[in-house]
Amino acid sequence: MTQGAAAARYVGQSVKRLEDPRLVTGHGRYVDDIVLPGMLHVAFGRSDLARATITRLDTSAAEALDGVHAVFTGADLNSYNDSLRASLHPPESPAPPANMLADGDVRFVGDPYVMVVAESRYIAEDALELVDVEFEPLDPVVDYETAAESDDLVHPELGSNLAHDLPVPNPAQQEAFENAAHIITETWHQHRQTNVPMETRGIVASWQPHAGVMEVWASTQSPHELQLVGARVLGIGEHKMVVNFGDVGGGFGQKMFLGREDMAVLVAAKLLASPVKWIEDRRENLLASNHARIEQMAVTMAVDEDGNFLAADLDQLEDDGAYPLGGPATPGAMATMLYPGPYRMGPVSWRARTVYTNTCGRGAYRGPWQMESVAREQMIDRVAREIGMDPLELRRRNVLTPDDLPYQVSTGLFFETTISPEKTLDQAAEMIGYDDFRAEQAKAREEGRYLGLGMALYIEPTSMGMGPLGTESAMLRVEVDGHVNVFMGTGSHGQSLETTIAQLVADELGVRPEDVTLHQGHGSGYGFGTGGSRSAVIAGSAARGAASGVREKVVAIAAHLMEASADDLEVADGVVSVKGTPSASMTMAQVAATAYQNSDALPEGMEAGLEHTARYKAPPNTHSNACHICTCELDPGTGKVTLLRYVVSEDCGVLINPMVVDGQIAGGVVQGIGGVLYEHAVYDESGNPLASTFLDYLVPTAAEVPELETGHVVVPSDTPGGHKGTGEGGAIGAPPAVFNAVADALAPFGVYPNRQPLDPNAVLSLIASSNDS
């Protein structure tokens, strides 16, 4: 179901993914597939305590083991700590101590304190058993809700566990509260989760002393971030840091920045002048890569008698862990700024805080600011119940309509005229059959069955045009045989850029998608990589610009050779022809051969060759929007929640490849479902992680996920091609939609949850609490 603009020749079509023949036949090339002569392997010794002083660390027995080439501690590597910060952050940014390896103490379970480099991973793991280490345990800071007031400090060097505190009062909010008919307050809690990419982190580094070059193969979302930071750490020129980019088995934010282990491998390779490989195992990934979603938002909303949203007050608190991946910058401020979302809402005051704890560091995870939608959409359902209004009707009374646009949000955000929240809300309600479900739900309750419906409406900021995130380059070259190569700084890790960029180029240049090959990483102009839902707008616009530049030259050469007017020529499927006279034509290969091999035949003054470089600078934001609605059935005897239907109405502008868009939405939805119902990285009060394998950290399978039904509203953006980002939307909308569905199913019991996960134990506890009251 699609509302909006018609498709172009290739853009807008579900073109077969060009990656699939390689990937589905097992011919992908991942980091662990890289084997170099003389390659050594790394294993890290990690702390089993959340906070402790290292009182003894003797590596002599490990060093003596046959096959071990080196054992490194913090004393060996941490002198390279000159600049471990991400390139996004200036040197003066406050941050925890930049140690590759723990030195003197450990600060979370999984903190690496020793690194063994050996002829095999097996030998390296055996050597770790020979490291003689003793710890003096200290009281850890585990509860992020009390961390700011604790006298125990995660990082004594910083003098406080408070990493970030940004209060933004709004005096008008208090006045609105005084005149409100209803004031409702709730604190919404999310819980600790992690990204769980199919391919864990990994890196191979090879130092070439004769050239002073470090060559790297990595599982990364951002090849140029690895180049910039790696060169800084090693003290070499960026041109001497060569990053090779192959297939990447998922990242979801986890592979945007360099981890401490990555940097340690780089330094070890340089010190040993030998290729060094580290592949993270699944336990390490679950314990020590990064965690996310550990946050809460206290919300107070003022509503008038008709259900209009008058004002809100927000207090956001987030757990940064010990060593946040990419630095201590917090998405909390963005979450509070985005809270009004797709609704007319009066003044909002807010405070955003982040604290350090003795746990795995926070990192980006698909839609890292999504607490704004979680808290808002769950709050709207809570408000609806409190004032006795249907939650769909409450949203319809407050949702932004075309007459409201453009819209200035009280928190400082600005929404352009190209969003469509009202349309997606209506489309999703129609797809789910809202009124019919409510009738079915009422009948089911009479029969002792507990059905629920939840919805979530949101606006997603994509393609943010700020700093290094806001620009991307593309160099396009038509080779002598007519094939098209595109070189970009992107870092595709499941977004199908090999196909979608080829579709954009094919339409703009006049070739077929299969005639286009995308090259990422080394040899391309700077780009921040793939993240922040930026590829369609920013990378796509750069590719479109490069293709346009080459097309102009192709037409000029063909017009000159065929003695025709450029205005009379058209280019399609790699053939330049005179409109209406297809027999008068040249192939792209013939034009390219002239451009490279017979430059004397080119128009006077034209440069030889057939290539063009373009760089695109994005506007501050390009907003997507969507509505998610799901239904469920709850078993009060077991606490099990079964999802029945799940629909999404998405407006991501002009779709490049509908199949790819639907795949991106589905992947995010499944992660959101997992977050609410299954996934939980649990710590005990001593800071011990209790979910270090997939036996304990549960992820949903196909059996738990209903068939996803997707509809599209197409309102083109003001960017080239009219595209908007969509990579993170599924993971933003799914958690509150699923949560609200379960809360709705629980309504007959007179309880209302305010925290995730809603696993069977949590559901049974809520039902039991209703029986006790």
> For residue 35, is pLDDT > 80?
yes
pLDDT on residue 691? 97
> For the residues 22-27, what does the mean pLDDT come to?
95
Nearest residue to 260 (alpha-carbon basis) of 283, 292, 284: 284
Number of other CB atoms surrounding residue 158 within 10 Å = 16
What number is the average pLDDT over the span 164-177? Answer: 94
What sign has the CA pseudo-torsion 367, 473, 227, 120? Answer: positive
- Return the pLDDT at 120: 98
Q: Tell me the pLDDT tens digit for each residue of 659-703.
A: 999 999 999 999 999 999 999 999 999 999 999 999 999 999 999
Residue 6 has pLDDT above 60, yes or no: no
* Strands of the 132-137 sheet, one edge to the other: 105-106, 52-58, 132-137
Do 296 and 314 meet the contact criterion of CB atoms below 8 Å apart? no
CA gap 185, 167 in Å, rounded: 19
Q: Nearest Cα to 741, choosing from 691, 655, 677?
A: 677
What pLDDT is stored for residue 82 in this prediction? Answer: 63
**Range 484-490 average pLDDT:** 96
The DSSP letter of residue 533 is T
Distances (CA, A) of 624 to 14, 330, 457, 648, 728: 20, 22, 11, 13, 10
- What pLDDT score was predicted for residue 1? 58
pLDDT over 70 percentage in the chain: 98
Residue type present at position 505: V
The kind and range of the H/E element at 770 are helix 760-772
Q: Is the pLDDT of residue 434 over 80?
A: yes
pLDDT digits (tens, 9 = 90+) for 381-405: 999 999 999 999 999 999 999 999 9
Q: Is the predicted pLDDT of residue 553 greater than 60, yes or no?
A: yes
Residue 328, pLDDT score: 79
Length of the chain: 773
Query: For residue 92, what pLDDT is reported?
Result: 72
Q: Strands 484-488 and 516-520, how do they pair? A: parallel
Residue 2: pLDDT band (50, 70, 90) is: low
- Read off the pLDDT band of 206 (50, 70, 90): very high
- For 78, other C-beta atoms within 10 Å of its C-beta total 19
Radius of gyration of the chain (CA): 28
Residue 224 corresponds to which tokens in the numbers above? 């140029």
Q: 704-719 burial by CB neighbour count: b if 16+ within 10 A, else e?
A: bebebbbbbbbbebeb
Strands of the sheet with 484-488, listed across from one edge: 516-520, 484-488, 471-478, 611-617
- Using CA atoms, how far apart are residues 309 and 328, in angstroms rounded to an integer? 33
| 306 token code pair | 């008709």
Kindly indicate the confidence band of residue 83, based on its pLDDT and cuts at 50, 70 and 90: low
How far is it, in rounded angstroms, from Cα 83 to Cα 485? 35
7 confidence band (pLDDT: 50, 70, 90): very low
Query: Could you give the dihedral angle defined by the CA atoms of residues 578, 580, 583 and 588, in that order, rounded to the nearest 10 degrees?
Result: 40
What value, to the nearest 5°, has the Cα angle with vertex 504 and ends 503 and 505?
A: 90
Residue with tokens 């029969």: 447
Return the amino acid letter for 30.
Y
For residues 497 and 7, the model is more confident at: 497
Looking at residue 332, its pLDDT comes to 85
The confidence band for 84, taking pLDDT boundaries of 50, 70 and 90, is confident
Q: What is the distance between the alpha carbons of residues 483 and 586, in angstroms, rounded to a whole number?
A: 15
The tens digit of pLDDT for each residue in 330-379 reads 788 899 999 999 999 999 999 999 999 999 999 999 999 999 999 999 99
Q: CA 393, CA 609: separation in Å to the nearest integer?
A: 61
Kindly give the residue spans of alpha helices, DSSP state H, lying in 222-312. Answer: 223-234, 260-272, 282-284
Whether residue 254 is predicted with pLDDT greater than 80 in this model: the reply is yes
d(CA 750, CA 767): 9
Listed in order, strand segments (DSSP E) in 251-380 are 276-279, 295-303, 309-321, 348-356
Match 């549960």 to its residue by tokens: 698
* pLDDT higher than 60, residue 4: no
Please give the C-alpha separations between residue 385 and each of 105, 377, 378, in angstroms, as whole numbers: 50, 13, 11
Q: Which two tokens stand for residue 79?
A: 């002198």
* 3-state SS class at 189: strand
Q: For position 94, what pLDDT does the model report? A: 76
pTM of the model: 0.96
